[in-house]
Amino acid sequence: MSFYNLDHRTTKILYMILAAVGAVSLAGVVLLNLPFYYELSTALSALTFFLVSLVMFILIAFSIKEFILPSLDCFREKETIGVIIFLFIFLSIIIIFSSNYIWTTPEIYAVEICFDADDSSSPLAVQSLSHPKTNRLYPPESFGVRRYPITIESGKCVNGQITTLLGRRLRYSMDAHLAVTVREDPPEGRFYISIDDSPSVVLFEDDIDQPSTQTIPVREGFKTSAPWSSSLQRYWFYGIRTIMVWVSAMVLSLFLFGLTERTIKFSAENEKQP
């Protein structure tokens, strides 16, 4: 039985399946390419994914009804198939090479920051914790504050965590993953930071030539490659993301073709009117 001769109920089910798969794929491509998504809690990330998928499903279902179904007869033509294949390849390449973070794996690190002032009383204000290459701020909530700065009393420590992203396409994966910026003219003392129990120490001394702010790059304790436990896990990781890219590209290709056909027909009808 030809695809074009399917009954209405079967056709509707097929299009709902296409809309659902396309929605999940597009939501994955969008969210997995946003660094902040990896820093959400499990419950919040699941809720965000569900809501974005729902919005995508509604948009795709609307596009199928308004743009793709009216152009269904055109899909019999070889020229149409060629155009859709071209759009699919073009969009796949665009998505693959413009999406850095979708190919990365998140790594969560435990961070401990301590400060011992020489006068045993002066606190240290950490103005920011950021990625030194992208300048992306790490959320301070896990360190017990809602916004920067993070104040560390002399002789005390604060504990929290940061999430970094590892991927072959990220050129800075081999560089420092954390830059600690302290306030102007930090008090003299011993600054200590540990990443997953890998310590680094910096001594603040009175120096008239020191800059108004100090940025401390931290390299110790960070991984430089994704911790794959097996080749199968790596292939599964890249395979799922590749499928999401392909499905997203196909949905966008059908939408663009249907939209173009709808626009051409609308323009032709207007030209015929006196």
- Could you tell me if 199 and 220 are in contact, meaning their C-beta atoms sit under 8 angstroms apart? yes
Residues 6+ apart with CB under 8 A from 44: none
Torsion sign across C-alpha atoms 34, 141, 152, 125: positive
Give residue 258's pLDDT band: very low, low, confident or very high (50, 70, 90).
Answer: confident
pLDDT 10s digits, 68-117: 877 777 777 788 888 889 999 999 999 988 887 888 888 889 999 999 99
Average pLDDT over the chain, rounded to an integer: 83
Give residue 145's pLDDT band: very low, low, confident or very high (50, 70, 90).
Answer: very high
Give residue 263's pLDDT band: very low, low, confident or very high (50, 70, 90).
Answer: confident
Q: Tell me, what's the pLDDT at 1?
A: 43
Across the range 49-64, mean pLDDT stands at: 94
Q: Tell me, what's the pLDDT at 2?
A: 47
| CA 198 to chain centroid | 27
Instruction: With CA atoms as reference, report the closest residue to 247 among 20, 9, 22.
Output: 22
pLDDT 10s digits, 154-182: 999 999 999 888 776 555 454 557 899 99
Across the strands, what pairs with 111?
160, 195
What separation in angstroms does the CA of 239 have from each of 49, 213, 215? 20, 45, 39
C-alpha 71/C-alpha 49 separation (Å) is 31
Q: Give the H/E segment covering residue 13.
A: helix 8-31
C-alpha 96/C-alpha 168 separation (Å) is 13
What amino acid is encoded at 18 in this protein? L
- Could you tell me if 123 and 154 are in contact, meaning their C-beta atoms sit under 8 angstroms apart? yes
C-alpha 227/C-alpha 147 separation (Å) is 31
- Taken as a whole, the chain contains a residue count of 274
Using the 8-state DSSP alphabet, how is residue 66 labeled?
I
Q: What's the predicted TM-score (pTM) here? A: 0.77
Torsion sign across C-alpha atoms 244, 247, 251, 257: positive
Q: Give the H/E segment covering residue 62.
A: helix 42-63
Domain segments of the chain: what residues? 3-76+230-272, 108-218
Half-sphere exposure of 62 (CA within 13 A, CB side): 6
Using the 8-state DSSP alphabet, how is residue 219 labeled?
-
